[in-house]
Amino acid sequence: MYIHSIAFVAAETKIAQDAMYRLKHRYGHVSPDKAEVIVALGGDGFMLETLHRYMGRKVPIYGMNRGTVGFLMNEFREIDLPERIAESQTVELHPLHMEAHTKDGGSLCALAINEVSLLRETRQAAKLRIKIDGVERLPELVCDGALVCTPAGSTAYNLSAHGPILPMGSGLMALTPISPFRPRRWRGALLPERAEVVFEILDAEKRPVSAVADYTEVRDVSKVIIREDRSMKIRLLFDPEHNLEERILKEQFVE
């Protein structure tokens, strides 16, 4: 299958902008709302922004690394781009849906491709009660915070918090504490992708907590409900020799 219409989007860095200028000149360019494929040039942060921006279009996105880590990106090469896209492999992701309720009675919903994290707002540790599918599993977690991540997000904040790396297609989410104080030895849990996770904030007035879905933050939450949004589908394209599943596997053997 030959790709006839490509939209190029790039981070604001010089290296990404220069690459976009050359690629537009070489292959032409259409607006993202008319493209068969969107090519994102930058790092993982920019890819995350691009996925959120065009999630409603359901158009596949092919990233090329013009950033630092580039875990979600393919290797940058200017030649044979339509052929590379045509031969790429598709990874389908479902984002997490966060429903955050605040102490003043308000609520806000947001989507997360990587993770939903809860974080203490002050010097005092947070106290959280955790329920899974309506069953109380942890009556009190004293910690800096906790997060729930997708397989795609398991190598991001989750990995820094010593959470597990999840292979694509594992059908799992990771629930990971952030600097747990009590129970000190609890290291989190692996959950089915269809599980509903509820965090209830204990002593919310004295120990305020914020909730963050990727980069949407809600302050002073009282309860946060997280579940996978099966109605939303994100399609990422990867070169066969460097697909996302292989990257996740390799990451587990990094020294």
The CA–CA distances, whole Å, from 240 to 8, 58, 254 equal 21, 21, 21
If DSSP codes are grouped into helix, strand and coil, which group holds residue 45?
Answer: helix
Integer Cα distance of 76 and 96 in angstroms: 29
Integer Cα distance of 13 and 239 in angstroms: 24
Compute, in degrees rounded to 10, the torsion defined by CA atoms 200, 125, 117, 226: -10
- 44, 104, 144, 220: the active-site residue: 44
Residue 62 CA to its chain's centroid (Å)? 16
33 is known as an active-site residue? no
Q: Starting from the edge strand earliest in sequence, which strands make up the sheet with 126-132, in order?
A: 107-112, 96-102, 221-228, 197-202, 126-132, 135-143
Catalytic residue annotation: 44
